[in-house]
Amino acid sequence: MNRVLRTLVGAYGALAFCACEAEVDVVESLELGAIAWNPVVASRDGGASALWRGRSVWVFGDSILSEAGSAASTWRNNTATSTADLDASDGLHPFEEALAERDGGVPPEFLPMTADEVAFEAEHGGPDCGDDCAGIALWAGSPVVDPTSDRLLVFYLKLIQRPGEFNLTVLGSSVAIWNDLREFAERPLVRDGSEPTLLFGADEPEVAAAALVDGGQLFAFFCANTGELGKRCLLGRVDPSMAQERNAWQFWSRQERWTADWRDAKGLFDGSGIMSVHYNAFVDRWLAVYSRPLSDEIVLRTSSELTGPWSDETVVHEALDFTDDGHTSYSALAHPEFARDGGRFEYLTYYEPHSGGMRLVELELSPD
Which pLDDT does position 230 carry in this prediction?
67
Tens digits of per-residue pLDDT, 296-354?
999 999 999 999 999 999 999 999 876 666 678 899 999 999 999 999 999 999 999 88
Name the 3-class secondary structure at 336.
helix
Q: Report in angstroms the alpha-carbon separations of 134 from 72, 278, 366.
A: 16, 37, 49
Neighbours of 175 (CB within 10 A): 28
Tens digits of per-residue pLDDT, 113-156?
999 999 999 999 888 888 889 999 999 999 999 999 999 999 99
The architecture of the domain spanning 3-367 is: 5 Propeller (2.115)
CB 240 within 8 A of CB 254: no
Which pLDDT does position 130 carry in this prediction?
84
Q: Where are the domains of the chain?
A: 3-367
Please return the burial class of 64, using the count of CB atoms within 10 Å of its CB with bins 0-12, 13-18 and 19+. Answer: middle
Tens digits of per-residue pLDDT, 32-48?
999 999 999 999 999 99
Name the 3-class secondary structure at 305.
coil
The DSSP secondary-structure symbol of 304 reads S
What pairs with residue 363 in β-bridges?
Answer: 29, 346
What pairs with residue 80 in β-bridges?
Answer: 59
Cα–Cα distance measured from residue 141 to residue 157, given in angstroms and rounded to the nearest whole number: 7
Which pLDDT does position 227 carry in this prediction?
60
For the question of whether the overall pTM of this predicted structure is more than 0.85, the answer is yes
Chain centroid to Cα 55, Å, comes to: 18
Cα–Cα distance measured from residue 226 to residue 229, given in angstroms and rounded to the nearest whole number: 7
